Amino acid sequence: MSFAAYALTSVTYFRNLMRQSEVAVRAQLGEGEQELASGRCADISTTGDLDSAGAGWTYVMVTNRHVRWVPNIEALGLICSLDIDQVRSCTEVHWRHRSALVMDHDPLPRLHFVPNGRPLNWMYTRDLVVGSLSTTILGFSRPTAKAAQQVKEQVALRGIVIRQVQNPGRLP
């Protein structure tokens, strides 16, 4: 297979996974819930690896009520849903051209990667588990991504001031 054919196959595979994720998330929208933006990001809640935010293997949809995401589009299963009214604080972290939104909220049962106890710059396991987390970190390839902008707008509409932080490396 030529490189061009391989690249086209990979892009098609990725787009199909994103479409499947979008269909699954749309099926969970409540009455009167309106999509404001959707796209891709990286759920880095347990890894803190902002550098991986450009890979974008997480589908995200922001509505007027929730941030909904599929943590790993290759393993379409549990869809995470954070009620924006439950967000207690939000910090936007910038690192190089990437950004992340760190949201503290009530415990949310959700799918996440298992930390493997290694030092921060090592890889986390590929094992996913369901458990409650009180902090969600969504990493974006750039701070101007439409989904990132809409999360910030919806949080601000609820009276939460979004802190801005420059970070030279990994998140907590």
More confident residue, 9 or 159: 159
Contact 57, 74 (CB under 8 A): yes
Higher pLDDT, 98 or 68: 68
Q: How far apart are CA 101 and CA 68, in angstroms?
A: 14
Give the residues across from 156 on adjacent strands: none
Domain residue spans in the chain?
Answer: 3-166
Secondary structure of 46-74 in the HEC alphabet? CCCCHHHHHCCCEEEEEECCEEEEECCHH
pLDDT, greater one: 13 or 2: 13
Q: What is the tens place of the pLDDT at every residue in 20-31?
A: 999 999 999 999
- pLDDT at position 77 is 72
- As a whole number, mean pLDDT of residues 35-57 equals 78
Has domain 3-166 been given CATH number 3.30.1490.20?
no
pLDDT for 124 equals 45
Residue 119: band (very low, low, confident or very high) from pLDDT cuts 50, 70, 90:
very low
